[in-house]
Every structure is written in C-alpha cells, then in structure tokens.
Amino acid sequence: MIDLTLSEVLDRLNNGAVTSVALTQAYLDRIRQADPRVRAFLTLTEELALEQAAAADTRRAAGGSAPLLGVPLALKDVLATRGIQTTAGSRILQGFKPPYNATAVQKLLDAGAVILGKTNTDEFAMGSSTENSGYFTTHNPWDLERVPGGSSGGSAAAVAAGMAAGALGTDTGGSVRQPASLCGVVGLKPGYGRISRYGAFAYASSLDQIGTLSRTARDAALLLNVIAGPDPLDSTSMPIPVPDYTAALDGDVRGLRVGLPREYFTAGIQPEVEAAVRAAVEKLASLGAEVVEISLPHMSYGLPVYYLIATAECSANMARFDGVRYGQREDAGDMWEVYTNTRGHLLGPEVKRRIMLGTYALSAGYYDAYYRKAQEVRTLIREDFDRAFEQVDVIATPATPTTAFKIGEKIGDPLQMYLSDVYTTTVNLAGAAALSLPCGFDGRGLPIGLQLIGPAFEEGRLLRAGDAYQRVTDWHIHRPVVEEPTG
C-alpha cells in the first residue's frame, strides 16, 4: 500500500478495497522500519493518526465523503498544528504547542486527511540540505550518506521513502522544489498568494509560499484543490477563484509553448542533469509541445538579490523569538541578558548568520545600497518573466544544478550551499508558480528534477504538462530501497 500514489490511495479508500485504519497503520509500520535511517520526522502523531483514520472510516461507512477522507499525510514542522509540538526545526521552540492550526493544515483536516506527524526542516526553513535543523540531519532515501535537500527535506524524504502519501512543505527560495528534485518526487510551489500563509512561521514574508510534495502531478493537483484559496487571515492571499486542477489533466500538451532559457544551461551544471532535462523537453516536444529558446537576462542576479531580500525580511521576522512570549527561555539578570542568552544559545549558526546579514543590509547608510537596490533588481527579474510569458506558456529548466551532495560536503561553505538554489530563487522573486518532477537518474542512481515555471496563478498549466510527461515516462514510479537498521 505504501507504494501507491495519493490518487491510487484515494481510489482504494473510496471503493472499499482498504480502510483508512489499515492504510495508516501500514504507513506507521513503514515509518518504524525506515525512519531510524532516514530521520524524516521530528514528531510522530501515531495515536492521533489512528483516531483520525477510524473517524474517517466511520464517516465513509455512513455515506459521508470528503476530498482527502482517510488519506495519511505529513506536515513540515514550520506549520502550526493545534496541540502538537511545532518547532520550526529550532531548539528555541522545543516543546511549543500552538493553540491554533495553520489555514492550510485546517483545510487538510476539513478535507478528512490523517496527519502522521511533523517533518524535519532546516531551522526556520533557512537552508538547502536539512543539515541546519536544530535536532538532526535527515538523510536522502536514495543514498543515506547524502542530503535530501532543504528546507523541506523531511517532507520530501518521507514521501520518497513511502512514509506518507503526500506532504506539505514551504518554499521561500526553492525549499519545496529543490528537495523534491534531490529525492525524486514532485514538488509544487504555487504562485504567491494562491495559498494562505497564515500559521506558517515566517522566514521572508514577500517570498514564502506553502507547497506540496507528492509522487505525481495528479497527486499535487488533488492537494492543491484542497489548500488553495483566499483567506481573511492572510491579506496576501489572492481573492481569485480556485479551479479544479484535476480537470486540466487531460494528457494533451499539443501547442503548448515551452521556453528553454539559455542562462540556465551554463558552466556549473552537472552534465547528467543537463542531458536529462533536455531529454525531458524533447519528450514534451514529441507530445506536440513547441520548444522555443528564450532569455532571462537578469537570472544571474537572482541569488544575490534573494539573499539580500530574504535575510532582510528574516531579521525583522525573527525579532519575535526573544524568549518572552513563547518558546524556550534562558533566564538572566536583566532583559537584555535574557534576549542575548536565549537567542545566542538556542538559535543555530545559519539563522544567526541570516539575521546579521539582514540587519546589516537594513542598517543606516546601507539600506539604499543593498536592500533598495535588491528590490529594484527584483523588479527587473519579474519583468524578465513577464516578457517571457508573452512568448511561451511554460519555462523548462533544471530544478537543481547537481544531484544530491554528501552530508557535510557543503555545510562549512555557505556560498556553495547557497548555489544549490541558483535555479529556484528567481521564481520566488517573481512570485511565479513552479513544478519540479523526476526526469532521470545520474550514474550513481540519484534522482534528477525537471522544473517547469509558469505565471503566478496558472498552476493548472504546469500540472497538465507534468501529468502529460508522467503518462509517457516512468521516472516517478521508481522507489528507493532503504536498508534495515544494522546492529
């Protein structure tokens, strides 16, 4: 059962071939077997999950229905869940149990989903490998010596290893798409404003977006159907209609104009990644899509612009974690010592690095030179995408420049780590939508991801293209073999 896609799980639940309790127990058994090696979960909610599954079975037996009734899912631990420890991967929030649910979480519960637990993340979603978690590093199910990506590495690893039918993550600069690529699953980052951010711990408020991790584009469409839509609790959520995303999955991409930006295929890309992505684009062309070479001339500025804007917003958002209102606190003689001890001892080095970078960029005498200039270049990047979408319907690029790297390989070199996001950050800066899906393996058997980018609220276009591609390829049906614990 754990090898089924989310849509297949739903079909079997609806036709009575399996109960939610049996299905949930199968995932819990898989977690017990695989997670000691993968370490995807920070918190497992076994008792709650079985209660929710039993309630789903009772509801279905009584003739009730809901879009995700009885489907077991996992949640990135930056999403508030009422009464369940929510740490954002940080020791400063160890033991914190929110009194409310994030809107996306509440929508899943209203749709009948079963929550298996909270997944590991880089601390406050700041990282590209899950090595920045305040608790432990998650391992890539395809090679346990390698990273799963980040910051939604726990969610991606859980789906890849068959420990959940799907999961939610967040994406500020690629944190859904990059781990999806490295773990061989599908990652969807909707357009900014498509999903409410209420209840998601803020890293960079103008860039953050909740996204999905799943086995297939169809699974992503099912999840997006549930969690998309405006929310009065989030003024940045857009008051626009939510289409039925599954209705667009007709397998037909004839006439779809696919842009291939020359700036994404330059020095630094792993040759196997470039070859796999180009082969995937050729496959779309064989289905009737039209491939057009395009240019995104300001793409090379994406990484520095992102790390100025994101860190500036981070420095403001992180001010609330001071040991006074919630979370852990280290007492001292006066208020300033409390702040210093709590933040100094309980926040990790990467979070502190980004707070300091952002504070510097916003400081007197530097604001215009750094933050304001970065916002001006962000406008140029957005305009690049706007012009491109006048020529093409979607843009195809690699999701990451390389396949998964070894744990510890880049943690001591922040610049090399940041370069892992070189193909994803511009999407967030532009507020666009993007989809990462498996398109091959390298010589070591590590997954490669294709990224499809579309206008902000044209997620259906991306899902249609991704679904058409997956109908004629089998990269997404491969599963990693996670070894049994030794000793």
Residue 177, CB half-sphere, CA atoms under 13 Å: how many? 31
Q: From CA 396, how far away is CA 264, in angstroms rounded?
A: 9
Q: In which element (H, E) is residue 433 found?
A: strand 433-441
In a domain, 238, yes or no: yes
Please state whether the predicted TM-score (pTM) of the whole model is above 0.95: yes
Helix (H, G, I), strand (E, B) or coil at 438: strand
Give a yes or no: residue 161 inside a domain.
yes
Place of tokens 């520095």: 304
pLDDT at 487: 43
193-219 CB burial, b ≥16 within 10 A, e <16: bbbbbbbbbbbbebbbbbbbbbbbbbb
CA-to-CA dists, residue 147 to 110, 179, 256, 443, angstroms? 34, 9, 35, 17
CATH number at 452 reads 3.90.1300.10
Dig out the tokens for 41 from the structure.
């979960």
Dist. CA 280–CA 292, nearest whole Å: 14
Task: Note whether residue 305 is domain-resident.
Answer: no
What was the pLDDT predicted at 484?
Answer: 63
β partners of residue 214: 186
- Whether 18 maps to a domain, the answer reads yes
Cα–Cα distance for residue pair 198/450, rounded to 1 Å: 30
pLDDT of residue 355: 97
Q: Name the residues annotated as catalytic.
A: 76, 151, 175
Instruction: With respect to residue 340, please indicate whether it lies within any of the assigned structural domains.
Output: no
Q: What is the C-alpha to C-alpha distance for residues 99 and 104, in angstroms, rounded to an integer?
A: 15
Residue 114 sits at φ, ψ, to 5 deg, of -105, 130
Q: Is the residue at 173 inside a domain?
A: yes
Token reading at 320: 């609330």
Give burial (CB, 10 Å; 0-12/13-18/19+) of 103.
buried
Name the residue among 56, 79, 58, 51 with its Cα closest to residue 68.
Answer: 56
Domain count, the chain: 1
The residue range of the domain holding 286 is: 6-298+378-477
Place of tokens 């739903």: 10
Q: Which ranges of the chain have pLDDT less than 50?
A: 486-487
Alpha-carbon distances, residue 112 vs 58, 59, 154, 219 (angstroms): 12, 9, 23, 16
Contact 113, 71 (CB under 8 A): yes
Give the pLDDT of residue 339: 83
User: Is 328 inside a domain boundary?
Assistant: no
In a domain, residue 346? The reply is no
Q: Please tell me the distance from the alpha carbon of residue 105 to that of residue 82, in angstroms, as a whole number.
A: 10
Alpha-carbon distance of 422 to 305, in angstroms, equals: 11
